[in-house]
Chain A
Amino acid sequence: MLTKRIVPCLDIKNGRTVKGVNFVNLRDAGDPVVLAKKYADVGADELVLLDISATQEERDTIYDLVKRVGEQVDIPFTVGGGIASVDKVAHILRNGADKVSVNSAVVYKPELALEISKEFGSQCLVVAIDARQVDGHWLVHTHGGSKPTELDLFDWAEQMQEMGAGEILFTSMDHDGTKTGFACEALAEMSERLSIPIIASGGAGTKDHFVDVFTKGKADAGLAASVFHFDEIPVPELKSYLLSQNIEIRI
């Protein structure tokens, strides 16, 4: 059976992990390579590296980082953040990433999704969507969720599937950082409308939230950052728990 995936996300700035990371026994938790390897070793199914650097100069450090992660880590990883051209995608994949995630850039230039999937295949294209509810409607937001658009979340996800997305990474801005659970209703609706896998993000706070996201939310993968980084929910403990709740999971 195909398993559900547990995906830790590392925020990277200027080549270093940001957001406090509180792991015991880690020589340098600020080094994304050390952290990525640790996650791979404890059973994470995939990793996402999100570059939140502000300047182009800082962003160029990502290539060397991708190369070093690829050398050390033996599970798939996705790189996202500030990707707006086929050239940058080529550079990131050539340095050893398995997938790229694009977000704001495809909102302003949807053809980019088509160009990336034609050139490199759908399997390496994750379209990340940030959305929140405005008057009862899920609207897509860009620039880290700060700029609202008029795009309906579900229509947009469908359009991106048609334009070659291999996966959708949906972050609910309403849930992100709250630790009150994932946006299961919206996720379930998205899952009904799409035929590609969905990675759920935003709201993880307990192990049961992951049970819910896979059962009620019908997500294929659950992504989180701080609950993993602060060891509030250790990955092996989460996976054993999910297994005990009859969820297909790789141990």
Chain B
Amino acid sequence: MIVLIDYDAGNTCSVMNALDRLQADYRLSSDPKEIRSAQKVIFPGVGHAGAAMTSLKEKGLVDVIKGLTQPVLGICVGMQLMAERSEEGDTACLGIIPGIVSRFDPSQDYNVPHMGWNTTQTKTKDSLFDSIDDDAYFYYVHSYYLPDNKYCIATSDYDVTFAAAIRKDNFWGIQFHAEKSSKQGAQIIENFLK
């Protein structure tokens, strides 16, 4: 059973729709027992990192997520929360991977939020990107980013090169919204579920 973590994240409904389109067998849950016993876990997220961490704490899920040993996929803020800290509300995050989530610096050529379809370059071969074209387009909406680091398996370029996808052991994270990224996005989710 796949479990989608239920902590009032903004894109939960979109992720459920994407899973339904793939005819995946999943359950939406905030029950620690159910999450721990899942075969795979999807950790969605949209909105404010601080609010998201508060919600995880209220539901008693911080240590649950940190302790998971099965494959976990964090999406957008779900990925950012895997880092040590976020500058958004100066929030202490889960610390699963090293790094600090920073804010994009708006300028004449670079609006913030970084919003729309951007190309993504894979750095290391990873099963998450099986059958994905190089320079594939994914849909992004975010004002904060995790800088490129050694756990980065794919990057994307805005005014800086940032982490588009990360992996450390059983934890994967994607900054883009695979659930809203057309066929290539569906392929990413399918690869994770495989």
Contacts and interface: CB of A to CB of B under 8 A. Distances in A.
B117 A3 contact: yes
Contact of B186 (A74, A123, A197): A74
Interface in A1-37: 1-5
B60 interface: no
Nearest to A166: B113
A120 B47 contact: yes
Interface stretch (B12-20, B61-69, B92-100, B163-171): B12-20
A71 B141 contact: no
B118 interface: yes
Interface string A99-124: 00000000000000000000011111
B174 to A, nearest CB: 15
A130 B20 CA distance: 38
Interface residues on A, range: 20 to 34
Nearest to B108: A192
B117 A5 contact: yes
Given A70-B17, A74-B185, A123-B141, A250 B180 contact: no
B13 A1 contact: no
Interface stretch (A89-97, A150-158, A228-236): A89-97
A167 B17 CA distance: 25
A177 interface: no
Contacts of A5: 116-117
Contacts of A145: none
Interface of chain A: mostly helix, strand, loop or mixed: loop
Contact of A70 (B13, B108, B141): B13
Contacts of A120: 10, 47
Interface string A52-77: 00000000000000000011001110
A36 to B, nearest CB: 13
Interface string A191-209: 0101111000000000000
Given A2-B117, A76-B180, A94 B13 contact: yes
A195 B141 CA distance: 14
A3 B137 CA distance: 9
A195 to B, nearest CB: 4
A212 interface: no
B118 A74 contact: no
Contacts of B114: 2
- A-B residue pairs, 4 tightest by C-beta: A195-B106, A121-B47, A250-B117, A123-B141
Interface of A: 1-5, 40, 45, 70-71, 74-76, 93-96, 98, 120-124, 166-167, 192, 194-197, 220-221, 250
